[in-house]
Structures are given as structure tokens and as C-alpha cells.
Structure 1
Amino acid sequence: MILVLISPRQAGLPFAQWLPEEAGRLVAVTADGAPVGEGFTEVVTVPDYTDDDAVLTAAREMARRHRPRAVLALAEADVERAALLRRELALPGLDSTAAAAYRDKVLMKRYASAAGLPVPAFAPVAGVDDITDFMAAHPGRVVVKPRSGSGSTGVHVLDAPGQADALAEQVAGGSYEVEEFIDGTLHHVDVFRAEGEPVAAVASRYTGAGCLTHWEDAPLGSRNLDPADPLHERLVRETWRLIDALPSPDTLCAHAEFFVTDSGRIVLCEVAARIGGGPIPAMLRHILGTDPRELWARVECGLPVALDAVRDHARTAPRAAFCGIPPKHGRVLRLPEPPPGTTDFVLNTRVGDDWSGERYRLRKSGDFLATWVLTDPDPAVLDSRLAATARLVGAGFGWDDTDSGRYDTDSGRYDTGSGRYDSEPGRYDTDPPAPVPATSGRTAGGAR
């Protein structure tokens, strides 16, 4: 039996198609109402998938009945849960020590720094005083973010110590960190290793402000670098150094993010022991020749994979890019058509979908309403097509700002001005909604 932990964002993935040898031997734990795909012998649901105790209790009961030989989990939220279950069940895979290092941004930077990798100056945060003390010792902008967060949620960029007071309730309890703001371009490196041998390593560059573009309601994109580009080689080398610095198993996948400064310095942002989220798997499929989630699912479950074919495809694949359109504040009035020349176009919304108020405030960097992939052997052409399709898809949406949508970062409230989008998508009668955090930085955090 294979026990699969399925986050609602992963629901519907074709696990049974990816693991045909395990037909009749797949069981799962997921959330109530999640549209789990076919092929599971038993599925147990929990009311709240963010409740660790509920998910683990359901998984342990499932394990007691079915005695799984592997635990498979693709979501960030399940990394530590799956590791704990593997330890309890004496199963192979990422263990709890490694999972903690890949989840906790303070621990991962301690490991990386001890190995000589460049990291931002950082410190754990248990209260506002820790932030102000850090800012006194490290003048300039800082980033405050959850130690184990994902999707750029809970991230704040501060310019002055006085701004920390507004975070007092949020950071109390020790679950946050503060680090110096690194001004650079955010890149990501997606790697796979099996039994100690590298399978693939793909270095890519995010567009614009990286994973904070959703603060400005702007599209997020990424394009893989040419393997012959010296920066590609440097980023890949730094990623393997990072993985060796952490208590990593011989077999793993990882999604690492690095800042590259104007001087060419590479500085760690963060790393996760999982496949990148959002449209990254769709982009990687064109580079690897297979869905990376299928690749990892088979490796994790000990099933055969044509790894040499993956290596060969990655060396000869065309350049690929993805783009995603985030929500704006309001209700969706009109949907775009797939732009010509793209693949893997996905709409994650419908007419009438309401992104006003709290839902908009709590949006994640991966909350894309539309995503797609482009391929082209010419990087310059690919960049141009990426920008053109982003404009086309963005203009295809229509919006109605249902409750005015201007977010005031000082009061934490939406104002009561007119703030109404006109009928031509992407245009406003007044200024667009301000980003949620107090100050948005160019490359302050990662997608995770």
C-alpha cells in the first residue's frame, strides 16, 4: 500500500495513472470536499486540512489498517507530516530532521551559513523587540516572514523600526524571523537526486519582483536559463552545496530560491524539499520530458524511472517559461481566451468569483487565476512572447471592485472610495488597490 497525503491544492492529480503498478493499493488522506482523483482503495477526509493533529490522526489510523510501504506527499504543508509518519512507520524517505531543516528558515540558514554559503543576516523573532534590535544592528530595509511559511504569506518589508509595532500580535510566539533585505533578482533552481546521483538541475529566473508581484496585482513569470549560461552553472553548483549542507537524504527533490545581486553575488533566499508550486511543474515537464510530480511520485514509491532519458531530455530541451495572472480586488466579470502559441493554459476561476476583502488580503503568491507555458529556443523571443501573452491574458479579464478594495496598510482596512474598475479590464476609475504589506520590496521573498 501507498499512503498519499493530498493537500486540497493537489487534489485531482492523477496519482493512479502515475503509479499503475500500485492499482488497488493506494489510500489517501485529504480535506472534506477535495475532488480526489480516481484509483484509491480508501480515502479518509478531515474537516480542516491545516489541522496537523487531525491529518496525522487520520493517517495513523489509515496506516494501522493498511500498513503502507511508502508515504507520498507533494505539498509544503505535508513535508513534516510525511516525515513524522515515515519515522513512526520505519519507512524510507525524508526524515524529521531533514524536514525541519527544509521547512524552518532559521535552521536552514544556520546550516547554510555554517557551510560557507552566503545568506542574509538573520535572526529568530519572538517579539517586536527582536525586530527593532536587529534593525539597529543592521541598518536598512528588512524582511519579516514566518519561519515555516509558504506562498509569500505573512511577509512584511520594513523600512523603519517604528513599523514593527504593527506586527506585535502577529510575531509573538517565536514563529517568525527577520533578515536583511537583499536587493537582487530572484532565481529558482529545481533539482532531483536519486540514490546520491543527480538526475536533473534546472535554474530559472523569475520576472519582475519575483514572488512578491502579487502585491502589485502583477503577473509572475519564470524562464529557465540556458545550461551553457555561466550563471546557470553557478546557481546549480550553489544548490548542490546547499543540499549537502543540510541533513539531506540521498534521494530527494528540492526547490531552491536565490537572489542574484547586480554584482553577481548569489545569496540564499530559501529552499523547500518538494517540487516547486504553481505552474512550475508544467514548465518543467517541457524541460524534463515528464511531469516532475510523476517523476518524484515514482521515485518516492520505489518504482522504476527512466532517469537517463530525463537527463538527456533536460540537456536538449528548448527554453521554457511560465506565466500566471494573480487576482485583483473584486469580482471576476469576464474571462480571457487562451493566448495563441501557448500550451498548458489553465483557468482557476469563473465569472462571479469574488476576491474582495479578506480573501484578497490573504492571497498567496501562487493564487493564480490563469497560467500557461511557452517554449522557444531563442531566450529573447521567449521573453518577448512571455510579456505579450501576459498583457493579452490580463486584458481578457473583467473586474468589478465589489467593496472598494483600496487597502490601507496603516489602518489594516479597506477604504470607502469609489474604487470601481471600468468595463475595460485592467483599468481603474481610481488607483488600484495597494499591496497588503507595509512596503513592497523588489525581491523580498520566495514562492515556496
Structure 2
Amino acid sequence: MAMVFCKWEPVALGVLLCGEEPVHVILDQWDLDFGHPDDALLEQAASVYRISDFNSLEELAAVATDLRLRGVEVRRIASFAEFSQYGAGLLGQLLGVAGESLESAVAVRDKRAMKARFREGGVPCARFVSIPDPASPPEPDEIARSLGFPVVVKPVSGMGAMATVRIDRAEDFVPALRSLNIPPVVRSRQLMAEEYVEGEEFHADAVWSGGEPWHFTVGRYVRPRLSASPGEEGSILLDRAEHVELIAEAEKLHRAVNSAMGLTSGASHLEFFRTREGELVASEIASRFGGGPLLDMVLARDGVDLRRLWALELLGEPRPAEAAPRHGWTHVAGINIPGGAGAVTHVPSRDELDADPHVITYHINCAVGEEIATPWPLMLVLGAAGEPELRQVIEDARARYTIR
């Protein structure tokens, strides 16, 4: 039996290549242009396929056909990124991999299919209306009757908060749809409108095996994502001792979501709200890790590299022993420092960041003289002794470390 690994991710791939099963790697053009794949690591793979992107039916069918002609029997397909999920599902179906299909990929990528499964499974979530043609949207009165205002409009296959807007009034509905700027990376132009859920916004990140979590964390967004300025993403990992009940309720919600979605193993990233009445409401689920600095946050506080844990689960290894924290801070946050338009004229220095005791780790993804080409130009993982102090550390970091 063999494994197929989609996208470039050296930590998980390195673990898989140490296993007994051959690993076949598929890289897209983004990986080749920006991922800086390690040729020495790739040489250990059974084969490496290079395609334009994971939306190419022709190229993925060719990969599946070649594997079949070579007599390769695939046991698992590992898809690291959001935009390789559809391709991984198609490959699973073509190669006859148990539990992998295009339908299962649609369920975690098309938010309408996702919400429909939530509702069928009794998972509390927002009501929605499909908008297949934004040029001919439903009448605002219909939206008002079905959902009420405010509503949230988003691409059905987007990620994060890209091209997602809150519309407060019926008279603003059609103009907002016309002005929505969907990035090219999102291929489908179809949209959905869903009722606005007011409350605190959280995320839960885990690695599952046989329906049980090998590691489970919950984070609270510093501000609900739609109320934060563009690029100012940030979240705080909840301290387990201080938030026992909330974390237990989040795991209960996640298990209900898993049941509705048919998820039993692998990585997950669940976003949910806690309303004023204390009810947890599911927002979206992804069968991948959270983006931005999330992996570094968990590594810093818990000493767990979720990528390595995921790879061990893929290999069928037993659950490893709990790791020791990497740093002394008990409370950890991750934030993004946004950039602007035009050429970069100033970036915080590494010496400055290294000297800050509250900066655990950082990623500088731009340089002076360059045009900013990423929504994550400067990611910081911050630590403190308590949540009030950590929130102040976040504000101080935003004021001190800027990109101009």
C-alpha cells in the first residue's frame, strides 16, 4: 500500500517518508514558485508529480491513471492545504481510497453543502440562502423573510474571511453583491447569504484518530473576524485550566460536527460562535489545519507540532506521549501585522523582534523594496503570564511593529 501527499509541507512529508509505505507527492505551480521544495527530500519519494493546480481535472486524472497503470494501491491521501481538497477528493474517488471522495471534499469546501450537513445532523448553525448567480440575486425582501438583516455574504468555496461582508440593510444588499471583490484564487463565483450570528468567535484545532482527538485546542479571536480591520487577524489560545467548561463544550460541538460530516481522522479546523445566551453555534469546518501562525502557537504553548502528529496518524502509528511546552509563557497569541499598498519602505528588524521577551517566534514575509505579495506579511507569536497581560502585549506589538 502507498500514500499520496498533496502540496508541499516538509515537516509532515519528512515524517511520512520515514515510514515503510512509499509516498507519492503532487506539487502544484504555487508550490514550485513559492514553496521552495527541498529536492533532497523529494528524492526520497516514490514519485513526484508536478501539475498546474489542484483544480485541473485533466492533470489529476492523468496522475490517477499513471498510478493505476503502475499497480500502486493507495491507502491514504493527505491534503495539506485548503485549495487541494477538491483535488484530493477526486483522486481518492478515482483510486478507490476508502473514505475519500469528491463528495466528501465538496462537504468541507462548499459552505452550502457543509451547512446542509450540519442541519441534517442537528448541529446548531446559521440559516442560509444560495446565490448561484450574483448578477441575478434574490430580492432583498426574500432575504429579509428568510434570514433577516444583517446577513453575511461570502463565496461558497472561499476560506477565512476573504470576500466576506456583513450587510446590515435590505437596500444595501444588491449594491454590496455588485461591489464584492472575489480573489482569483476562488474559482467559483457563486455566493451564499447566511444569517448573522452575534457573539464571540472561536476556533478549535485538532488531530483525530478513530473519532478521538489526539490533540485539541481552542482559541478565541481577538475580535470577531468581520469586525477586525483587513489583515489584522489574531487569536488567543484558551488556557485549559481557566476555560475547562468552554473547551469541553467546544469538543462536544466538534464531535457533533464530525458525526454530521463523516470525519473520523486527520486534521480539522472548526470555527464557531458563542452567543450572548451562551449557545455554541458552528460556523465552518475544514479538514486541514488553521492558517496563519496557528501551528506555531500550538508548538510554542504545548510543544506539539500538529503537522508531525497528523503524519503519525496517517502512518497508523500509536498516539505519542504528551510533549512538554517549548516556552515558559502559559498564555499564547498569534497575530498578523498587515501591510499596505505599494513598495515596502520599513519592516521591523530581526534584532528588534529577538530582543522582545514577549515575542516567541515570528515570520517576516516581505522585504524593503518589495511589493507585498501575501496577506500575512509579518506573523508574530506572543506570550504572557495571563490573558489580560497578553491582550496588552498584543496592542503594544501592533503599535510598535509596523510595516510601511
Q: Aligning the two structures, in what range does the TM-score lie when normalised by the shorter sequence?
A: 0.7 to 0.9
Partner of 2:314: 300
- Whether 1:201 aligns to 2:206 is no
Query: Post-superposition shift, 1:44?
Result: 2.8
Partner of 1:91: 97
Structure with greater contact order relative to length (CA < 8 Å, sep ≥ 6) = 1
- Determine if contact 1:125/1:174 at 8 Å carries over to the other structure: no
Partner of 1:328: 340
How many matched pairs? Answer: 376
Query: Post-superposition shift, 1:276?
Result: 0.8
Percent of aligned positions that are identical: 23
Question: In structure 2, what residue type is equivalent to 1:284?
Answer: V
Query: Post-superposition shift, 1:313?
Result: 6.9
CA gap of 1:12–1:243, structure 2 versus 1, over 3 A, is closer
Give the Cα–Cα distance (whole angstroms) in 1 for the partners of residues 71 and 6 of structure 2.
14
Query: Post-superposition shift, 1:270?
Result: 0.9
Query: Post-superposition shift, 1:50?
Result: 5.4
Query: Post-superposition shift, 1:261?
Result: 2.5
Residue 177 of structure 1 is aligned with which of 173, 184, 192?
192
Query: Post-superposition shift, 1:148?
Result: 1.7
TM-score normalised according to structure 2 size: 0.82
Other structure's SS at 2:308 match: helix
Residue 51 of structure 1 is aligned with which of 52, 55, 67?
55
CA gap of 1:45–1:211, structure 2 versus 1, over 3 A, is farther
Give the Cα–Cα distance (whole angstroms) in 1 for the partners of residues 179 and 167 of structure 2.
16
CA gap of 1:351–1:313, structure 2 versus 1, over 3 A, is closer
Give the Cα–Cα distance (whole angstroms) in 1 for the partners of residues 58 and 339 of structure 2.
31
CA gap of 1:93–1:333, structure 2 versus 1, over 3 A, is farther
Partner of 2:361: 344
Question: In structure 1, what residue type is equivalent to 2:215?
Answer: A
Shift >6 Å, 4+ stretches: none
Give the Cα–Cα distance (whole angstroms) in 1 for the partners of residues 200 and 51 of structure 2.
40
Partner of 2:304: 290
- Determine if contact 2:107/2:261 at 8 Å carries over to the other structure: yes
Give the Cα–Cα distance (whole angstroms) in 1 for the partners of residues 322 and 168 of structure 2.
49
Instruction: Structure 2: state its 5+ residue gaps.
Output: 183-187
CA RMSD of aligned residues (A): 3.1
- Determine if contact 1:24/1:39 at 8 Å carries over to the other structure: no
Partner of 2:389: 381
CA gap of 1:62–1:309, structure 2 versus 1, over 3 A, is farther
- Determine if contact 2:384/2:393 at 8 Å carries over to the other structure: no
- What's the CA shift string for 1:213-248, capped at 9, x where partnerless? 352x5x321111122412222222212222122222
CA gap of 1:177–1:183, structure 2 versus 1, over 3 A, is same
Question: In structure 2, what residue type is equivalent to 1:220?
Answer: E
Partner of 2:163: 154
Other structure's SS at 1:309 match: coil
Instruction: Structure 1: state its 5+ residue gaps.
Output: 400-448
Partner of 1:436: none
Other structure's SS at 2:345 match: strand
Other structure's SS at 1:88 match: helix
Residue 134 of structure 1 is aligned with which of 107, 118, 143?
143
TM-score normalised according to structure 1 size: 0.75
- Determine if contact 1:191/1:199 at 8 Å carries over to the other structure: yes
CA gap of 1:374–1:109, structure 2 versus 1, over 3 A, is same
- Determine if contact 1:126/1:176 at 8 Å carries over to the other structure: yes
Residue 106 of structure 2 is aligned with which of 100, 104, 112?
100
- What's the CA shift string for 1:129-160, capped at 9, x where partnerless? 42622134433211111122113223232223
- Determine if contact 2:297/2:381 at 8 Å carries over to the other structure: yes
Query: Post-superposition shift, 1:253?
Result: 2.2
Give the Cα–Cα distance (whole angstroms) in 1 for the partners of residues 20 and 366 of structure 2.
32
Question: In structure 2, what residue type is equivalent to 1:390?
Answer: R
Give the Cα–Cα distance (whole angstroms) in 2 for the partners of residues 212 and 351 of structure 1.
30
Residue 79 of structure 2 is aligned with which of 68, 73, 79?
73
Question: In structure 2, what residue type is equivalent to 1:346?
Answer: H
Partner of 1:392: 400
